[in-house]
Amino acid sequence: MQWAIKTQRLFDGTGSPLVRDALVVIENEHIIAVGPAAQVALPAGVSVLDVGDRTVMPGLIDAHVHLLWSGSVASGQESRVATDSQALLMGVRNAQVALKSGLTTVRDCGDRDYLSLALRDFINHGDLAGPRLLCSGPVITSTAGQLWWQSIECDRVDELQKAVRALVKHDVDFVKLMGTGGNATPGSNPEASQYDAAGFQVVAEDAHRMGRKVAVHVPRTCASRAPTLGISGRIVTRRSAVCTPPA
C-alpha cells in the first residue's frame, strides 16, 4: 500500500536546509521518495495526508529510558512498591506518550520480571501502537546494589555468567550491568565499583559470545577504565556507557 505526506516544511536530518512544500511517499513500512513536491513523482490514486503548517522530520531515538517508571524524582521509591500490573500499565502509557512525542525507537535500560519484553513483543505484533523497543530486561547488580529490588543480584563470576545466559534465554536485545551504585538506591555508592575487573570482563565476553552488546551504569569518572575491564564504549548519559566487548 502506498500513501504520501504533504508538508510545508521537511527536516531530513542530514544537515541540509529545510525542504519547503515537500512530499514523502511511503510504501508499506518504507519511505520510497522524499523531496520538493514539484520533483517527486506521485503515482495516480495515492492517498495524500496534508499536515499543513507542520514540520515533518525523522523519528527520534531515546537511548536510555525506564518505561516502567513514572519518571518523577521519586521513581525509584515508587517502583519498589508498585505491582507488576501497575508497572506494565505505566510502561504502556509511557510507550504511547513516547510515540506521540516523536520517539520511534526507545532503548529500555532496565525493567522488572521481563515486562518490557512482553510490551516490546506486543507492539511488534501490531497489537498496540508504540515505538520500536530495544530492551535489556532486568539489570545485573550486586547484592543490595543499584536497583536490587528489580534486578538479578550477582556477586561471583559464575553468577554473572549465569545471569547473562538467563537474559539471553529470555531474548533481551542487550545486557545492562550496574557497574556502580546509584542515587536511586539508598545505601549504594555511586562512586564505587560493584565488581572487580574479572566481573566486568566475564559479562562482556559471555554477552559478546551470544551476540549481545552491554550497557554499563558507571559515573563519568570511572568510564575511562572501561577498556581495561574488557569493555569499550562511549558515554551517552551522565551515568551510563554503551559498551560492546572487543572482537
Is the distance from CB of 1 to CB of 30 less than 8 angstroms?
Answer: no
Asked if the model's pLDDT at residue 234 lies above 50, the reply is no
CA distance 141 to 178: 5
The mean predicted confidence, pLDDT, of the chain is: 88
- Band (238; pLDDT cuts 50, 70, 90): very low
Residue 52 to residue 36: CA distance in whole angstroms:
15
pLDDT at residue 159 is higher than 90: yes
Residue holding cell 499536515?
51
Residue 99 corresponds to which amino acid?
Answer: L
pTM of the shown model: 0.84
Bridge partners (DSSP) of residue 8 are: none
Q: How many CB atoms lie within 10 A of CB 110?
A: 28
The conformation of residue 228, written as its DSSP 8-state character, comes to G
Over 80: is that where the pLDDT of 236 sits?
A: no
Task: Kindly report, residue by residue over 34-51, the tens digit of the pLDDT.
Answer: 999 999 988 888 999 999
Q: What distance in Å separates the CA atoms of residue 165 and residue 160, rounded to the nearest whole number?
A: 9
pLDDT band for position 240 (cuts 50, 70, 90): very low
Q: How confident is the model at residue 219 (pLDDT cuts 50, 70, 90)?
A: low
Rounded distance between C-alpha atoms, residue 79 and residue 87, angstroms: 7
Q: Which tens digit of pLDDT belongs to each residue from 70-120?
A: 988 888 889 999 999 999 999 999 999 999 999 999 999 999 999 999 999
